[in-house]
Chains A and B, each alone.
Chain A
Amino acid sequence: MEDAMKNLSVEDEPTASPSEPRKQKKKKVLLMGKSGSGKSSMRSIIFSNYVAKETRRLGATIDVDLSHVKFLGNLTLNLWDCGGQDAFMENYLAQQRQHVFSNVGVLIYVFDIESRDFDRDLLTYRSIIGALQQFSPTASIYILVHKMDLVVPNQREEIYNDRVSLIRGKSDTFNPIPFATSIWDQSLYKAWAEIIHDLVPNLDQIEKHLGSLGKIIQAEEVLLFERSSFLVVSSWTSAIGAQNPTTDRFERLSNIIKNFKQGTSKFTGTPKSAEQFVILEIKLKVFSMFVIKFTTNTYLAVVLPPGEERFNSALENCKIALKEFEDLDSPAKKGSDRGATSSET
């Protein structure tokens, strides 16, 4: 039986067609918002493996904090964390206007839900939108209404909807995608996973391959995690897996494993950003699951029905399929020229 399973492979998939050459300049991801709204905190949690309470140590961001975040092979996020104090804001909008707002791929704008002067926040947002309209009219915008944990639970929905409709009114021709977030739960992972999802090139290919892999190994669910941030980049869910009542499971998994990585790094004495484990097997009564180190920049999680043979053959098959995914992850190695910049959505 296992041999039969192994003979099936994902090779019958057509390989990715080369797209436009990647000579263009890397697009920026701008992270903006009022001072103290939590921009640097969320950046540290997502990309630098901080836990929520460690963000208390962070000081104010002075001017622009530039960082290149390596993500999925040769996709580098050119992340601009812009200090939010008024003096800096004026500076961005005046002297550095072109420098900051040209060639922007994505603008992530953070609103503090606790802000006492929401009208002023809107005004700043309006002028940012103006500048963006002028230099990068094709950029996509994400609105994070942050610190939701500070609002009484039964009022959250109402206040959030209220804020979002006001923000939409000020967004000109852009169509911002709003999220309610908090660093204290998984909502932050959900928002960022969706943002990242839109940034990854040749995602269609990856998703297609994941689907065929999932079908072959008879999985309930297959998830592809980015290595350093442990965000779900891509996923495939079978008809059965889709009946799972836990709808926020991807974010929760990210959260669980990220928290565990804190512990393992303390135990092994390695930096948090390093690879913390190579394989995790869980065999329980109703399901079995494994998470393996997959390509250079990803981890693969597979949820299967119980059964020893099924589990082992699936594990072997995933190792075979690895070759196919390696190319999709880092096409530069092959010399092909797939778009590696943050693409417009």
Chain B
Amino acid sequence: MPLLYTGRRRTKLDRKYNGPARQGPVRHISPAQLNLERVYEQNRLNSQKKDVAKVPEPAPGPAAKGKPRLLLMGQRRSGKSSISSVVFHKMPPNETLFLESTARIQKDSMHSFMDFQVWDFPGQVDFLDPSFDLDAIFGEIGALIWVIDAQDEYLEAINRLNSTILNLQPSYPNINIEVFIHKVDGLSDDYKLDIQRDIMQRIQDELSDHGIENAPINYHLTSIYNHSIFEAFSKVIQELIPHLPTLEALLNDLCRSCRFQKAYLFDVLSKIYIATDSSPVDMPSYEICSDYIDVIVDVSEIYGWARPSEYIAQLEGEPWNKKLEDQVACKDAESAIVLTDMKRPIMLREVNKYLALVAIMREGSFEKMPLVTMNVETVVAGLTEVFEITKQRK
């Protein structure tokens, strides 16, 4: 089938796309296309204001009304609600024991740098039932996350996943399918890999029996009791970011010029990293950065209360005679910590409301902090620009 061959993240704006024109009831919008359409629409409206007589054609494809959506699906009791509570609501993992089973579709909007919607889908609902509006569910979806309980019989789950993929592939070939092999805490490493191999094999066999090769499926081993779930979400979300290569290039440059060991661009709210430099991600550095964000968020919660205005006035008066904003070097939040014996300082710099840049520095580079700060400043300006371009403006 030609549609399948096109693979994911190729849209009709992409030259390589050779499938039929996507119009009519099937509405697939990849995030890249979504953004392009936004930009197009903006330009169109702007030029409309300038020149009323000359109206350009509307953006190709359906209007971009929705946000990119993540869909969590899987058998019941596989841990979907736990995942969304832990990742997006900061619930301590051991409290998820008390979560009730989900009876209806839970929609969760995540107000972050890009607007995500997480739909927590009850395991017992058969969405292939004709009474469901498939288009309403899968229309604007960015990624389908299928959760499989690794500590349970998973054959049934795989069968359902296979039938879902087979049903979705013809109409929505560009949906990323992410399989979370969940609850792997407490399993030995060998056993984990065995399970992953087994599941991959079964899905691949089933799909190739139906003539589907190279389906866009990614596998992740996850657990809510460690950072692996955040890691997996990071990878899922990175697939949905259209300007990821630009961000990565910026971070690479920063790492090279400042001799950083590792730099992450974090979404502060969910502690998912949306971009990192190209050196391999190691768990310890991710964990320490995410813990560090926690510390700063918690401390600012304690001391971030609004000071009375007389006090501010006093601070701005003698002997400083300067506005408080002018007394600080950096308008956004910045922080640094030096771990034992000047080894490996870690720095954090706020990028915008949602994002923070966290980097692990090399030994002994804390003395060069001013230089580092200057470089970081430049990169942050660059990052802001990248987001500015793709942001929807009113």
A interface residue numbers (CB < 8 A to B): 1, 53, 220-221, 240, 243-246, 249, 252-253, 256-257, 259-260, 263-264, 266-268, 270, 274-289, 303, 305-310
Q: Is B304 an interface residue (CB 8 A)?
A: yes
Q: A267-B339, A278-B342 are in contact. Are A287 and B295 (CB under 8 A)?
A: no
Q: Could you tell me if A284 and B333 are in contact, using CB atoms closer than 8 angstroms?
A: yes
Q: Could you tell me if A305 and B315 are in contact, using CB atoms closer than 8 angstroms?
A: yes
Q: Is B328 an interface residue (CB 8 A)?
A: yes
Q: A306-B328, A307-B320, A308-B329 are in contact. Are A283 and B334 (CB under 8 A)?
A: yes
What residues on B are CB-neighbors of A268 within 8 Å?
Answer: 339-340, 343-344
Q: Could you tell me if B302 and A267 are in contact, using CB atoms closer than 8 angstroms?
A: no
Kindly name the residue among B315, B320, B339, B342 whose own CB sees the greatest number of chain A CB atoms within 10 A: B339
What residues on A are CB-neighbors of B327 within 8 Å?
Answer: 306-310
Which B310-338 residues have a C-beta within 8 angstroms of A? Answer: 311, 315, 319-320, 324, 327-338
What residues on B are CB-neighbors of A240 within 8 Å?
Answer: 307-308, 311
Q: State how many angstroms separate the Cβ of A83 from the closest Cβ of chain B.
A: 28
Q: Could you tell me if B324 and A267 are in contact, using CB atoms closer than 8 angstroms?
A: no
Q: A260-B294, A263-B288, A309-B327 are in contact. Are A281 and B335 (CB under 8 A)?
A: yes
CA distance A2 to B333 in the complex (A): 23
Q: Could you tell me if A277 and B339 are in contact, using CB atoms closer than 8 angstroms?
A: yes
What residues on A are CB-neighbors of B285 within 8 Å?
Answer: 267
Residue in contact with B299 in the complex, picked from A275, A289, A308, CB distance below 8 Å = A289
Q: Chain A interface mostly helix, strand, loop or mixed?
A: mixed
CA distance A308 to B302 in the complex (A): 21
What residues on A are CB-neighbors of B343 within 8 Å?
Answer: 268
Q: State how many angstroms separate the Cβ of B289 from the closest Cβ of chain A.
A: 10
Q: State how many angstroms separate the Cβ of A223 from the closest Cβ of chain B.
A: 11
CA distance A123 to B302 in the complex (A): 42
Q: Is B306 an interface residue (CB 8 A)?
A: yes
Residue of B nearest to A218 (CB): B315
CA distance A264 to B289 in the complex (A): 10
Residue in contact with B324 in the complex, picked from A1, A270, A278, A306, CB distance below 8 Å = A306
Residue of B nearest to A308 (CB): B329
Q: Could you tell me if B336 and A287 are in contact, using CB atoms closer than 8 angstroms?
A: no
Q: Could you tell me if A53 and B94 are in contact, using CB atoms closer than 8 angstroms?
A: yes
Q: How does the 8 Å CB contact mask read for B283-309 relative to A, with 1 for contact and 0 for none?
A: 011011001101110111111111110
Q: State how many angstroms separate the Cβ of B159 from the closest Cβ of chain A.
A: 37
What residues on A are CB-neighbors of B324 within 8 Å?
Answer: 305-307
List 13 additional A-B contacts (Cβ < 8 Å) besides A259-B294, A278-B338. A240-B307, A246-B305, A253-B299, A256-B295, A259-B291, A263-B287, A263-B291, A270-B340, A277-B337, A282-B335, A283-B334, A285-B328, A309-B327
CA distance A303 to B327 in the complex (A): 16
CA distance A187 to B305 in the complex (A): 22
Q: Could you tell me if B340 and A286 are in contact, using CB atoms closer than 8 angstroms?
A: no
CA distance A259 to B287 in the complex (A): 13
What residues on A are CB-neighbors of B336 within 8 Å?
Answer: 279-281
Q: Is B388 an interface residue (CB 8 A)?
A: no
Q: Could you tell me if B339 and A283 are in contact, using CB atoms closer than 8 angstroms?
A: no
Q: Is B51 an interface residue (CB 8 A)?
A: no
Q: Could you tell me if A308 and B307 are in contact, using CB atoms closer than 8 angstroms?
A: no
Q: Is B126 an interface residue (CB 8 A)?
A: no
Q: Is B341 an interface residue (CB 8 A)?
A: yes
Residue in contact with A305 in the complex, picked from B298, B307, B341, CB distance below 8 Å = B307
What residues on B are CB-neighbors of A270 within 8 Å?
Answer: 340
Q: Could you tell me if A276 and B339 are in contact, using CB atoms closer than 8 angstroms?
A: yes
Q: Could you tell me if A284 and B287 are in contact, using CB atoms closer than 8 angstroms?
A: no
What residues on A are CB-neighbors of B284 within 8 Å?
Answer: 266-267
What residues on B are CB-neighbors of A220 within 8 Å?
Answer: 303
What residues on A are CB-neighbors of B330 within 8 Å?
Answer: 283
CA distance A36 to B330 in the complex (A): 52
